[in-house]
Amino acid sequence: MSINWNEILNPFLKKAKNPLIVILGPTASGKTALGLKIAHLTDGEIISADSRQVYREMNIGTDKIPQEKQENIPHHMLNIVNPDEPFTLADFKDRTEKIIEEIRERGHVPFLVGGTGLYISAVTENYLIPRVEPNKELREKLLEEAKNKPHDYLHKKLQEIDPDEAVKIHPHNLRYVIRALEINLSRNEAFAADYLHARREECFSEVPIVNQEKKTKKGHSRYDTFFIGIRWPREELYERVNMRVDQQLRGGLLAEVEKLLGKYDPRLPSMSSLGYKELVSFLKGECTYPEAVELIKKNTRNYAKRQMTWFRRNESILWIDGHKIV
Protein backbone atom coordinates (compact mmCIF):
# COMPACT_ATOMS: atom_id res chain seq x y z
CA MET A 1 0.00 0.00 0.00
CA SER A 2 1.48 3.34 -1.07
CA ILE A 3 1.82 6.22 1.37
CA ASN A 4 -0.34 9.30 0.91
CA TRP A 5 2.22 11.97 1.74
CA ASN A 6 -0.20 14.84 1.14
CA GLU A 7 -2.49 13.40 3.78
CA ILE A 8 0.41 13.13 6.22
CA LEU A 9 2.10 16.48 5.58
CA ASN A 10 -0.68 18.92 4.65
CA PRO A 11 -2.05 19.27 8.22
CA PHE A 12 1.47 20.00 9.45
CA LEU A 13 2.21 22.54 6.71
CA LYS A 14 -1.08 24.36 7.28
CA LYS A 15 -0.36 24.76 10.98
CA ALA A 16 3.42 25.33 11.01
CA LYS A 17 4.64 28.92 11.09
CA ASN A 18 8.23 28.06 10.20
CA PRO A 19 8.17 24.53 8.78
CA LEU A 20 11.18 22.30 8.28
CA ILE A 21 10.82 18.74 7.03
CA VAL A 22 13.67 16.38 7.93
CA ILE A 23 14.21 13.09 6.13
CA LEU A 24 16.76 10.94 7.89
CA GLY A 25 17.94 7.38 8.22
CA PRO A 26 21.03 5.22 7.92
CA THR A 27 23.22 5.14 4.86
CA ALA A 28 21.73 3.32 1.84
CA SER A 29 18.20 3.53 3.25
CA GLY A 30 16.68 5.57 0.38
CA LYS A 31 16.68 9.12 1.77
CA THR A 32 17.60 10.82 -1.50
CA ALA A 33 14.79 9.23 -3.49
CA LEU A 34 12.21 9.94 -0.81
CA GLY A 35 13.37 13.54 -0.49
CA LEU A 36 12.87 14.10 -4.21
CA LYS A 37 9.44 12.51 -4.16
CA ILE A 38 8.07 14.59 -1.30
CA ALA A 39 9.76 17.80 -2.44
CA HIS A 40 7.83 17.56 -5.71
CA LEU A 41 4.57 17.29 -3.78
CA THR A 42 5.23 20.22 -1.48
CA ASP A 43 7.16 22.69 -3.64
CA GLY A 44 10.24 21.93 -1.61
CA GLU A 45 13.97 22.57 -1.81
CA ILE A 46 16.52 20.11 -0.44
CA ILE A 47 19.42 20.84 1.89
CA SER A 48 21.94 18.02 2.22
CA ALA A 49 22.69 17.03 5.81
CA ASP A 50 25.70 14.91 4.91
CA SER A 51 29.06 15.89 6.36
CA ARG A 52 30.94 14.59 3.31
CA GLN A 53 28.80 15.83 0.44
CA VAL A 54 29.98 19.38 1.17
CA TYR A 55 33.32 18.49 -0.47
CA ARG A 56 33.98 19.07 -4.15
CA GLU A 57 35.50 16.21 -6.17
CA MET A 58 34.16 13.63 -3.71
CA ASN A 59 31.11 12.41 -5.58
CA ILE A 60 30.96 8.64 -5.98
CA GLY A 61 32.07 7.72 -2.46
CA THR A 62 29.65 10.19 -0.84
CA ASP A 63 26.77 9.02 -3.05
CA LYS A 64 26.17 12.62 -4.04
CA ILE A 65 23.18 13.11 -6.33
CA PRO A 66 24.37 14.40 -9.74
CA GLN A 67 22.82 17.47 -11.29
CA GLU A 68 21.04 15.49 -14.01
CA LYS A 69 19.15 13.43 -11.40
CA GLN A 70 17.97 16.31 -9.24
CA GLU A 71 14.70 16.55 -11.22
CA ASN A 72 14.74 20.38 -11.17
CA ILE A 73 14.50 20.38 -7.38
CA PRO A 74 16.99 22.91 -5.95
CA HIS A 75 19.70 21.19 -3.89
CA HIS A 76 21.88 23.02 -1.36
CA MET A 77 25.03 22.32 0.68
CA LEU A 78 26.64 20.24 -2.05
CA ASN A 79 30.16 20.98 -3.35
CA ILE A 80 30.77 24.07 -1.25
CA VAL A 81 34.39 23.53 -0.05
CA ASN A 82 37.50 21.82 -1.37
CA PRO A 83 38.70 18.64 0.41
CA ASP A 84 41.60 20.53 2.00
CA GLU A 85 39.45 23.37 3.38
CA PRO A 86 38.22 23.26 6.98
CA PHE A 87 34.49 22.87 7.48
CA THR A 88 32.98 22.73 10.95
CA LEU A 89 29.66 21.96 12.56
CA ALA A 90 29.24 25.67 13.18
CA ASP A 91 29.84 26.35 9.48
CA PHE A 92 27.13 23.86 8.56
CA LYS A 93 24.63 25.30 11.02
CA ASP A 94 25.24 28.92 9.98
CA ARG A 95 24.97 28.21 6.26
CA THR A 96 21.97 25.94 6.60
CA GLU A 97 19.99 28.43 8.69
CA LYS A 98 20.65 31.12 6.10
CA ILE A 99 19.51 28.82 3.28
CA ILE A 100 16.34 27.88 5.19
CA GLU A 101 15.46 31.58 5.48
CA GLU A 102 16.03 32.10 1.76
CA ILE A 103 13.86 29.09 0.88
CA ARG A 104 11.06 30.40 3.08
CA GLU A 105 11.32 33.85 1.46
CA ARG A 106 10.72 32.17 -1.91
CA GLY A 107 7.56 30.60 -0.50
CA HIS A 108 8.99 27.09 -0.68
CA VAL A 109 9.33 24.34 1.91
CA PRO A 110 12.84 23.57 3.22
CA PHE A 111 13.85 19.90 3.47
CA LEU A 112 16.85 18.73 5.46
CA VAL A 113 17.85 15.35 4.02
CA GLY A 114 20.74 13.22 5.19
CA GLY A 115 22.29 10.87 7.65
CA THR A 116 24.73 12.94 9.69
CA GLY A 117 22.83 12.99 12.96
CA LEU A 118 25.00 15.64 14.60
CA TYR A 119 24.41 18.07 11.74
CA ILE A 120 20.65 17.49 11.84
CA SER A 121 20.50 17.95 15.61
CA ALA A 122 22.61 21.11 15.47
CA VAL A 123 19.97 22.74 13.27
CA THR A 124 16.75 21.27 14.65
CA GLU A 125 17.79 21.62 18.31
CA ASN A 126 19.59 24.92 17.76
CA TYR A 127 22.93 23.94 19.24
CA LEU A 128 24.85 26.84 20.74
CA ILE A 129 28.23 25.91 19.34
CA PRO A 130 31.50 27.27 20.76
CA ARG A 131 33.21 29.43 18.14
CA VAL A 132 36.68 27.96 18.32
CA GLU A 133 38.87 28.53 15.29
CA PRO A 134 40.69 25.47 13.88
CA ASN A 135 44.22 25.09 15.26
CA LYS A 136 46.25 23.40 12.52
CA GLU A 137 49.38 23.09 14.66
CA LEU A 138 47.50 21.40 17.46
CA ARG A 139 45.70 19.05 15.08
CA GLU A 140 48.98 17.96 13.50
CA LYS A 141 50.45 17.38 16.95
CA LEU A 142 47.48 15.22 17.93
CA LEU A 143 47.63 13.21 14.71
CA GLU A 144 51.37 12.68 15.11
CA GLU A 145 50.93 11.56 18.71
CA ALA A 146 48.20 9.09 17.72
CA LYS A 147 50.40 7.34 15.16
CA ASN A 148 51.14 3.71 16.02
CA LYS A 149 48.89 3.95 19.05
CA PRO A 150 45.66 2.02 19.77
CA HIS A 151 42.67 3.38 17.83
CA ASP A 152 41.08 4.75 21.00
CA TYR A 153 44.22 6.49 22.26
CA LEU A 154 43.01 10.06 21.71
CA HIS A 155 39.49 9.16 22.79
CA LYS A 156 40.86 8.11 26.19
CA LYS A 157 42.58 11.49 26.44
CA LEU A 158 39.25 13.16 25.71
CA GLN A 159 37.62 11.05 28.43
CA GLU A 160 40.14 12.43 30.92
CA ILE A 161 39.42 16.00 29.89
CA ASP A 162 35.71 16.00 29.08
CA PRO A 163 33.91 12.73 29.85
CA ASP A 164 30.52 14.23 28.96
CA GLU A 165 31.67 15.00 25.43
CA ALA A 166 33.62 11.76 25.04
CA VAL A 167 30.53 9.62 25.57
CA LYS A 168 28.89 11.27 22.53
CA ILE A 169 31.73 10.45 20.12
CA HIS A 170 32.66 7.03 18.81
CA PRO A 171 36.34 6.21 19.52
CA HIS A 172 36.91 5.51 15.80
CA ASN A 173 35.71 8.97 14.75
CA LEU A 174 39.14 10.58 14.91
CA ARG A 175 37.95 13.80 13.28
CA TYR A 176 35.37 14.54 15.96
CA VAL A 177 37.66 13.37 18.78
CA ILE A 178 40.38 15.77 17.66
CA ARG A 179 37.89 18.61 17.26
CA ALA A 180 36.58 18.01 20.80
CA LEU A 181 40.13 18.03 22.15
CA GLU A 182 40.81 21.22 20.20
CA ILE A 183 37.80 22.95 21.78
CA ASN A 184 38.78 21.81 25.26
CA LEU A 185 42.38 22.87 24.89
CA SER A 186 41.35 26.28 23.58
CA ARG A 187 39.57 26.89 26.88
CA ASN A 188 42.91 26.86 28.63
CA GLU A 189 45.56 28.62 26.56
CA ALA A 190 48.29 27.71 28.99
CA PHE A 191 47.32 24.07 28.67
CA ALA A 192 47.36 24.28 24.88
CA ALA A 193 50.77 25.94 24.85
CA ASP A 194 52.20 23.38 27.25
CA TYR A 195 50.73 20.58 25.19
CA LEU A 196 52.15 21.84 21.92
CA HIS A 197 55.66 22.18 23.33
CA ALA A 198 55.77 19.24 25.72
CA ARG A 199 58.18 16.50 24.84
CA ARG A 200 56.43 13.77 26.76
CA GLU A 201 53.06 12.20 25.92
CA GLU A 202 52.14 12.21 29.61
CA CYS A 203 51.69 15.99 29.53
CA PHE A 204 47.96 15.43 29.14
CA SER A 205 47.72 14.23 32.71
CA GLU A 206 50.25 16.72 34.09
CA VAL A 207 48.39 19.90 33.18
CA PRO A 208 45.13 20.59 35.05
CA ILE A 209 41.92 21.27 33.18
CA VAL A 210 40.25 24.41 34.46
CA ASN A 211 37.03 24.53 32.45
CA GLN A 212 34.85 21.43 32.66
CA GLU A 213 31.58 23.03 31.60
CA LYS A 214 29.56 21.35 28.89
CA LYS A 215 30.77 22.72 25.55
CA THR A 216 27.75 22.34 23.30
CA LYS A 217 24.34 23.41 24.57
CA LYS A 218 20.88 23.57 23.06
CA GLY A 219 18.89 26.72 22.48
CA HIS A 220 15.24 27.16 21.55
CA SER A 221 14.42 25.51 18.24
CA ARG A 222 13.76 28.00 15.45
CA TYR A 223 11.57 25.66 13.42
CA ASP A 224 8.39 23.65 13.44
CA THR A 225 9.98 20.36 12.46
CA PHE A 226 8.46 17.22 10.98
CA PHE A 227 10.82 14.24 11.17
CA ILE A 228 10.52 11.33 8.75
CA GLY A 229 12.83 8.36 9.26
CA ILE A 230 13.46 5.37 6.98
CA ARG A 231 14.21 2.03 8.58
CA TRP A 232 14.94 -1.45 7.30
CA PRO A 233 15.39 -4.81 9.00
CA ARG A 234 19.09 -5.00 9.88
CA GLU A 235 20.05 -7.77 7.49
CA GLU A 236 18.26 -6.12 4.58
CA LEU A 237 19.92 -2.78 5.34
CA TYR A 238 23.33 -4.45 5.45
CA GLU A 239 22.66 -6.07 2.09
CA ARG A 240 21.69 -2.68 0.66
CA VAL A 241 24.96 -1.28 2.01
CA ASN A 242 26.96 -4.07 0.38
CA MET A 243 25.19 -3.59 -2.94
CA ARG A 244 25.77 0.15 -2.89
CA VAL A 245 29.49 -0.27 -2.22
CA ASP A 246 29.70 -2.66 -5.19
CA GLN A 247 27.85 -0.11 -7.31
CA GLN A 248 30.19 2.69 -6.25
CA LEU A 249 33.22 0.59 -7.15
CA ARG A 250 31.76 -0.24 -10.56
CA GLY A 251 31.04 3.46 -11.01
CA GLY A 252 34.69 4.45 -10.63
CA LEU A 253 35.30 5.00 -6.92
CA LEU A 254 38.88 3.73 -7.10
CA ALA A 255 39.73 6.19 -9.89
CA GLU A 256 38.12 9.00 -7.87
CA VAL A 257 40.29 8.14 -4.86
CA GLU A 258 43.44 7.93 -7.02
CA LYS A 259 42.74 11.40 -8.40
CA LEU A 260 42.18 12.84 -4.92
CA LEU A 261 45.29 11.17 -3.58
CA GLY A 262 47.30 12.88 -6.31
CA LYS A 263 46.10 16.28 -5.11
CA TYR A 264 45.44 16.07 -1.39
CA ASP A 265 47.06 14.84 1.82
CA PRO A 266 45.50 11.50 2.81
CA ARG A 267 45.53 12.65 6.45
CA LEU A 268 42.93 15.34 5.77
CA PRO A 269 39.59 14.87 7.58
CA SER A 270 37.83 14.66 4.22
CA MET A 271 40.03 11.75 3.17
CA SER A 272 39.00 9.78 6.25
CA SER A 273 35.55 9.30 4.71
CA LEU A 274 34.16 5.82 4.27
CA GLY A 275 35.38 4.27 1.05
CA TYR A 276 38.22 6.74 0.67
CA LYS A 277 40.42 5.82 3.60
CA GLU A 278 40.18 2.08 2.84
CA LEU A 279 41.11 2.54 -0.83
CA VAL A 280 43.94 4.88 0.15
CA SER A 281 45.30 2.01 2.24
CA PHE A 282 45.09 -0.26 -0.81
CA LEU A 283 46.81 2.28 -3.06
CA LYS A 284 49.59 2.66 -0.47
CA GLY A 285 50.11 -1.12 -0.48
CA GLU A 286 48.87 -1.61 3.07
CA CYS A 287 46.20 -4.15 2.07
CA THR A 288 44.89 -6.04 -0.95
CA TYR A 289 41.99 -4.79 -3.06
CA PRO A 290 39.57 -7.50 -1.82
CA GLU A 291 40.56 -6.66 1.76
CA ALA A 292 39.89 -2.97 1.15
CA VAL A 293 36.48 -3.70 -0.39
CA GLU A 294 35.44 -5.90 2.50
CA LEU A 295 36.63 -3.27 4.95
CA ILE A 296 34.56 -0.58 3.23
CA LYS A 297 31.47 -2.75 3.55
CA LYS A 298 32.18 -3.64 7.17
CA ASN A 299 32.89 -0.05 8.21
CA THR A 300 29.81 1.23 6.37
CA ARG A 301 27.60 -1.37 8.05
CA ASN A 302 29.00 -0.33 11.42
CA TYR A 303 28.35 3.31 10.57
CA ALA A 304 24.74 2.54 9.67
CA LYS A 305 24.32 0.87 13.04
CA ARG A 306 25.70 3.93 14.85
CA GLN A 307 23.41 6.21 12.83
CA MET A 308 20.35 4.29 13.99
CA THR A 309 21.54 4.46 17.59
CA TRP A 310 21.72 8.25 17.28
CA PHE A 311 18.33 8.63 15.60
CA ARG A 312 16.48 6.37 18.05
CA ARG A 313 16.97 9.03 20.72
CA ASN A 314 14.48 11.23 18.90
CA GLU A 315 10.94 10.19 19.83
CA SER A 316 9.43 12.68 17.34
CA ILE A 317 10.43 10.72 14.25
CA LEU A 318 7.72 9.19 12.08
CA TRP A 319 9.38 5.93 11.06
CA ILE A 320 8.55 4.53 7.63
CA ASP A 321 9.20 0.95 6.54
CA GLY A 322 11.76 1.08 3.75
CA HIS A 323 9.73 -1.42 1.70
CA LYS A 324 6.96 1.16 1.36
CA ILE A 325 9.11 3.74 -0.38
CA VAL A 326 11.00 1.64 -2.96
pLDDT tens sequence across 38-95 = 999 999 999 999 999 999 999 999 999 999 999 999 999 999 999 999 888 889 999 9
**Are the C-beta atoms of residues 48 and 75 closer than 8 Å to each other?**
yes
Angle (CA) 229-13-127 rounded to 5° is 60
Q: Of 40, 25, 6, 9, nearest to 225 (Cα)?
A: 9
Least confident of 141-150, 239-248, 263-272, 303-312: 141-150
Q: What is the mean pLDDT of residues 278-289?
A: 97
Topology agreement, domain 5-128+219-234+308-324 and domain 236-305: no
Going by pLDDT thresholds of 50, 70 and 90, the confidence category of residue 187 is low
Listing DSSP states for 250-315 in one string gives: HTTHHHHHHHHHTTS-TTSGGGGSTTHHHHHHHHTTSS-HHHHHHHHHHHHHHHHHHHHHHHTT-T
CA distance 95 to 231: 28
pLDDT attached to residue 320: 96
Mean pLDDT, all residues of the chain: 88
Superfamily for domain range 5-128+219-234+308-324: P-loop containing nucleotide triphosphate hydrolases (3.40.50.300)
pLDDT attached to residue 197: 41
Q: Tell me: pLDDT of 192 over 50.
A: no
Q: Is the dihedral of CA 284, 286, 287, 288 positive or negative?
A: positive
Where are the chain's structural domains? 5-128+219-234+308-324, 136-215, 236-305
Q: Tell me: pLDDT of 205 over 70.
A: no
**Are the C-beta atoms of residues 319 and 231 closer than 8 Å to each other?**
yes
Q: Tell me: pLDDT of 105 over 90.
A: yes
**Global pTM exceeds 0.85:** no
- 3 state SS of 32: helix
H/E stretch holding 76: strand 75-76
CA distance 122 to 104: 19
Q: Tell me: pLDDT of 204 over 50.
A: no
* Domain 236-305, CATH among 2.40.10.10, 3.90.550.10, 3.20.20.140, 1.10.287.890: 1.10.287.890
Q: Tell me: pLDDT of 214 over 50.
A: no
CA dist 236 to 233, 242, 244, Å? 5, 10, 12
pLDDT attached to residue 207: 29
Q: Of 123, 119, 80, 79, nearest to 101 (Cα)?
A: 123
pLDDT tens sequence across 118-143 = 999 999 999 987 677 778 888 888 88
Pairing of strands 224-231, 318-321: parallel
What is the fold of 136-215?
A: Histone, subunit A (1.10.20)
Q: What is the mean pLDDT of residues 18-33?
A: 97
CA distance 83 to 54: 9
